[in-house]
Amino acid sequence: MAIAVVCMCLISYISYVVQNALLEQVSLMGTDLLMGYLDRTDGILDTFVEDIEQYGKVDTYSFVGSDIFYFEQNVYDLKFVENSYFDLYQMEIGSGRLFYDFEDEHVVVIGKDLANTFRLHDRILYHNQWYTVIGILDSVCESFYGNDNACVFVPYRFYDSSHTQLLMKSTDEVFTKQYLSYYLNMYAIEYEIFSQSQIKEAMKLLLELMEKVLYIIGCVSFVVSMLGIGNVMLFSVEQRKGEIGIRKAIGASDFAIFLQFLLEVCVMSVVGYVIGIVLSILCILVFSWYLNSHFYLTFSLCLYLLCMCLGIGIIGGVVPAYLACKKDVVDVLSV
């Protein structure tokens, strides 16, 4: 029973940690809206950007393009971004400098993880064009949009694909989303809009589903506990035939015998529950220290587990208690 309680408590704690970590990663996008599959044709996007800057309640935005390049048989991620991208993700330069949107030279800035591969003033070949490393970023947290520590950043003006993405911060997500939809439809731009709230809601639903599945798996340990309690009580009934016979001989009723064994099961369940809660608290304290997270164990879960332990104990002890109260006094005393 104690093991079942520990399993359920750890499942709850792990679900809490994972959910907070993933939602934090979404927040690290540094933007309220992520727009994908924009088609950069006919200069329409330039007019569109002017409009959203003026009316869309947008604080900061950056177009983003993605590609890969090969260097010494390794594959590296390439991101074409505007200078405002570094503000969106609150990136700071470690050495060198950031590039500007109006850079005429072919330059790049690299993430911290690539500092051992490329150095300042090294040259990178991409599409038959040499790019010079002018800056190395400080380490940043891996965001929902990818691990920027392992990326090479290129000024967006050198992006030559027709499909791009737009990341932005908005002071009013609802208004901006409606406004963007109106203008994108007006300009007949192919698009999809994802907001942080949508992504977080979808992730919450997924995590809640996974948590329920884990709880169902954890319930298997309670079933095992129930079978174990049943076997222990059956063995106890067989070992205490003499006691049962003596109690019946001096006038104990069947209900009294039944209640005695059922109360013993309840006591065993409560003891197992207490041991499990104590072990769970110790385990969660250790994990929270190791993972640098908050301690998490709710009173409602503890109360639910107590009811589960009593319920499972009673179910597992009903049959042995019934068999004990129905034993014939002559048979048990003649043994």
The pLDDT assigned to 137 comes to 92
| pLDDT (tens digit per residue) in 206-262 | 878 887 887 787 777 777 777 877 777 777 777 777 777 777 677 767 777 777 878
Asked whether residue 205 is assigned to any structural domain, the reply reads no
The reply to whether 236 and 161 lie within a common domain is no
The reply to whether 286 and 185 lie within a common domain is no
Last residue in a domain, options 154, 170, 200: 200
Report the number of distinct structural domains present in the chain: 2
Last residue in a domain, options 166, 200, 234: 200
Least confident segment among 120-124, 152-156, 314-318, 329-333: 329-333
The reply to whether 51 and 195 lie within a common domain is yes
The pLDDT assigned to 181 comes to 81
**Distance, CA of 164 to CA of 206 (rounded, Å):** 28
The reply to whether 181 and 292 lie within a common domain is no
Residue 333 in this model has a pLDDT that exceeds 70 = no
The reply to whether 52 and 188 lie within a common domain is yes
The reply to whether 35 and 116 lie within a common domain is yes
The counts of H helices and E strands in the chain are 9, 10
The reply to whether 80 and 188 lie within a common domain is yes
Residue 144 in this model has a pLDDT that exceeds 80 = no
The pLDDT assigned to 40 comes to 61
**Sign of the dihedral through C-alpha 279, 280, 284, 285:** negative
The mean per-residue pLDDT over the stretch 88-115 comes to: 88
The reply to whether 129 and 17 lie within a common domain is no
The reply to whether 183 and 322 lie within a common domain is no
| pLDDT (tens digit per residue) in 250-261 | 776 777 777 787
The pLDDT assigned to 154 comes to 93
The reply to whether 35 and 18 lie within a common domain is no
CB-based contact 92:138 (threshold 8 Å): yes
The pLDDT assigned to 107 comes to 94
Asked whether residue 208 is assigned to any structural domain, the reply reads no
Residue 330 in this model has a pLDDT that exceeds 60 = no
**Exposure on the CB side of residue 323, measured as CA atoms within 13 A:** 15
* CA nearest to 124, candidates 85, 72, 66: 72
Confidence of residue 132 (pLDDT cuts 50, 70, 90): very high
The reply to whether 162 and 44 lie within a common domain is yes
Three-class secondary structure of residue 151 per DSSP: strand
The mean per-residue pLDDT over the stretch 130-134 comes to: 93
Last residue in a domain, options 200, 228, 258: 200
| C-beta pairs of 20-27 under 8 Å, 24+ apart in sequence | 20/293, 22/203, 22/207, 23/200, 23/203, 23/204, 25/141, 25/142, 25/143, 25/144, 26/144, 26/196, 26/199, 26/200, 26/203, 27/196
Mean pLDDT (the chain, rounded): 80
What residues pair up with 81 in beta bridges, in sequence order?
A: 64, 155
* CA nearest to 94, candidates 108, 78, 115, 74: 115
The reply to whether 18 and 45 lie within a common domain is no
∠ CA(284), CA(285), CA(288), 5° rounding? 80
Look up the domain containing 181 and give its range. 28-200
Residues 283-292, buried b or exposed e (16+ Cβ, 10 A)? ebeebbeeee
The pLDDT assigned to 276 comes to 86
